[in-house]
Chain A
Amino acid sequence: MKLYCKYISAILKSTMEYKLSFFLMVIGRFLISFSEFIALSFLFSGFTQIKGYTYSDILLCFSVMQMSFAIAECIGRGFKVFSSMVKRGEFDRILLRPRSTILQLLGMRFDLGRIGPLATAIITLIIGVRKSQILWNTGRIITLFFMISGGTLLFLSLFMFGATFCFFSIEETELTNVLTYGAKEHGKYPIDVYGKGIMRFCTYIIPYTLIQYYPLLYLLGKTDNWLYALYPFSVVFFLLLCYGFWRLGLRNYKSCGA
């Protein structure tokens, strides 16, 4: 953990070398993600609700997914640029150092620029919370926290899953982008609006509903089953599964070039 902080401070120092480009990037990313929020609010100026969910319900759901995704991208950028790291031989260097590969990978590529989307997520979360008619007690606040951290873990697992493909083909695959970016897009709305098929896929294959739909039901008071609030924990199993796959890939590592 100490080392991870050192890595981040090194990245901060590097970033300070290019201040202007950094600020422009943050502002740009903020505008991109903020426009999604604007689009959502325009949509709801025409409708009052979708499948029984009000604007504030959706806003809450949207901000939770945004927040999880922003944090995951911030931490997990190393996985996303993994194929280029393999190609340039940076991963060889990681293997030459006496520390865990994942710690180094994530530390070396911590992405500060993601504070743009993170800001959007915080703003929408505040609006969502203020507009909602939820009675905020400790249980609900903790549930919200579980949703965000569970979501972060889920996205991180998927990034790791995608990176693992590089061990087998040295090429990145768009497949996991469908799962991550797609989910971020569709995750704006509670998953049951998409119907049963998608619901099943998002429960048993990629467990999105566990961090979004079920705990959200509890949060909105649509169910009294408090067990739903604990569902995000099961993402840990998915994470372990992806980690196993990563280990398998690591043994298959071929390096490349001179």
Chain B
Amino acid sequence: MITMENVCKSYKVAKRNAGLKEACKSLFHRETEKIQALSNISFTIQDGEMVGYIGPNGAGKSSTIKILSGILTPDSGTCMINGRIPWKNRIQHVKEIGVVFGQRSQLWWDIPVIDSFELLKDIYSIPTPNYNRKLEELTELLQLQEILKTPTRQLSLGQRMRCEIAASLLHEPKLLFLDEPTIGLDAVSKLAVRDFIKKMNAEHGTTVILTTHDMQDIEALANRVILIGRGKVLLDGTLDDMRRTAQSGENTNASLDQLVADLYQNMNIL
């Protein structure tokens, strides 16, 4: 179970105007501005849920994921995941989570995928029988047979993403964070990834937290949506709840993307 209570996080951002003169000036006197990335974020997620975490760019999605996965320490507030504080018991905590960043790779660039997997086996100290069983399962579900022996740098984006997802599940985490897992993928790969995530959730009860800008991902996967904007939770409910909030009148047949755009605009969070 995940509980977050009143979590706040702020960053200091250096500001200066364009130009060489301004750049030199900032050497001596830096103007910094405090940016409140998260203010009083609270929510609870039960085991086995699939939650879509959405919001416009810069809303604080990544910051939340980073706090939940133990990379960042919040300024204030409490966060408990399966009875642990992520940033205090980092090593214990990360054994139980898997994280996929759609825009960054966790595989070794120049060596075959299977070698990366072997390394992860050692990093997570996965017992050999468990590893073999899981690898077999993942290979079959994600159709990796063909590509396991290829170096990561030679994979297409879709192939790589399938390997990334497999890599983050080798140690059988109870909790999976997906940060834009379908970014840049073609229709076939997208569907394959979605199907797989659904299956993982149904068969192993893996809790999934998903951030994305692709509303079809949310429609296909998440039974619950948390909408954040400017560091605040604005809505926490089902996709239908969100539709109702957005469609207070006007166009009822709007596409999901249109809907979200309206929602962002109405709430004035862009």
Stretch at the interface among A45-53, A205-213, A218-226, A250-258: A250-258
Which B residues, 70 to 91, have Cβ-Cβ distances below 8 Å to chain A? 70-73, 90-91
Q: Known contacts A13-B115, A17-B151; is A93 also within 8 Å of B123 by CB?
A: no
**A14 located at the interface, meaning its Cβ lies under 8 Å from any Cβ of chain B in the complex:** yes
Decide if A13 touches B110 in the complex (CB within 8 Å): yes
Query: Please, which residues of chain B bring their CB within 8 A of the CB of A196?
Result: none
Decide if B115 touches A95 in the complex (CB within 8 Å): no
Contact of B72 among A89, A93, A104, A255 (CB under 8 A): A255
Stretch at the interface among A1-9, A70-78, A113-121: A1-9
**How many of chain A's residues touch chain B, expressed as a range?**
20 to 34
Query: Please, which residues of chain B bring their CB within 8 A of the CB of A93?
Result: 104, 106
Query: Please, which residues of chain A bring their CB within 8 A of the CB of B111?
Result: 10, 13-14, 17
Which B residues, 94 to 121, have Cβ-Cβ distances below 8 Å to chain A? 94-95, 97, 99, 101, 103-104, 106, 108-111, 115-116, 118-119
Decide if A89 touches B119 in the complex (CB within 8 Å): no
Contact of B123 among A14, A97, A258 (CB under 8 A): A97
Q: Nearest Cβ in chain A — how far from B106, in angstroms?
A: 5
Decide if B95 touches A98 in the complex (CB within 8 Å): yes
Query: Please, which residues of chain A bring their CB within 8 A of the CB of B97?
Result: 96
Decide if B104 touches A89 in the complex (CB within 8 Å): yes
Query: Please, which residues of chain A bring their CB within 8 A of the CB of B116?
Result: 10
Decide if B151 touches A258 in the complex (CB within 8 Å): no
Q: Nearest Cβ in chain A — how far from B108, in angstroms?
A: 6
**B43 located at the interface, meaning its Cβ lies under 8 Å from any Cβ of chain A in the complex:** no
**A247 located at the interface, meaning its Cβ lies under 8 Å from any Cβ of chain B in the complex:** no
Decide if A98 touches B110 in the complex (CB within 8 Å): no
Query: Please, which residues of chain B bring their CB within 8 A of the CB of A253?
Result: 71-73
Q: Known contacts A13-B110, A17-B110, A255-B66; is A3 also within 8 Å of B71 by CB?
A: no
Query: Please, which residues of chain A bring their CB within 8 A of the CB of B62?
Result: 258
Decide if A96 touches B110 in the complex (CB within 8 Å): no
Decide if A97 touches B124 in the complex (CB within 8 Å): yes
Considering the chains assembled together, what is the distance between the CA atoms of A6 and B71 in angstroms?
25
Decide if B122 touches A2 in the complex (CB within 8 Å): yes
Decide if B11 touches A254 in the complex (CB within 8 Å): yes
Which residue on B lies nearest to A101, using beta carbons? Answer: B90
**B212 located at the interface, meaning its Cβ lies under 8 Å from any Cβ of chain A in the complex:** no
Q: Known contacts A10-B111, A10-B115, A97-B123; is A251 also within 8 Å of B71 by CB?
A: no
Interface centre among A18, A251, A255, by most chain B C-beta atoms within 10 angstroms, is A255
Which A residues, 231 to 258, have Cβ-Cβ distances below 8 Å to chain B? 251, 253-255, 258
Decide if B109 touches A14 in the complex (CB within 8 Å): yes
Given contacts A96-B71, A254-B11, A254-B72, 15 further A-B contacts (CB under 8 A): A13-B110, A14-B109, A18-B110, A88-B104, A93-B104, A95-B70, A95-B71, A95-B90, A97-B94, A97-B124, A98-B95, A98-B123, A99-B91, A251-B73, A255-B71
Interface residues of chain A, those whose CB is within 8 Å of chain B, are: 2-3, 6-7, 10, 13-14, 17-18, 88-89, 92-93, 95-99, 104, 251, 253-255, 258
19 contacts between A and B (CB under 8 A): A10-B108, A10-B116, A14-B110, A14-B111, A89-B101, A92-B104, A93-B104, A96-B69, A96-B94, A97-B123, A98-B90, A98-B91, A98-B92, A98-B123, A99-B91, A251-B73, A253-B71, A254-B72, A258-B103
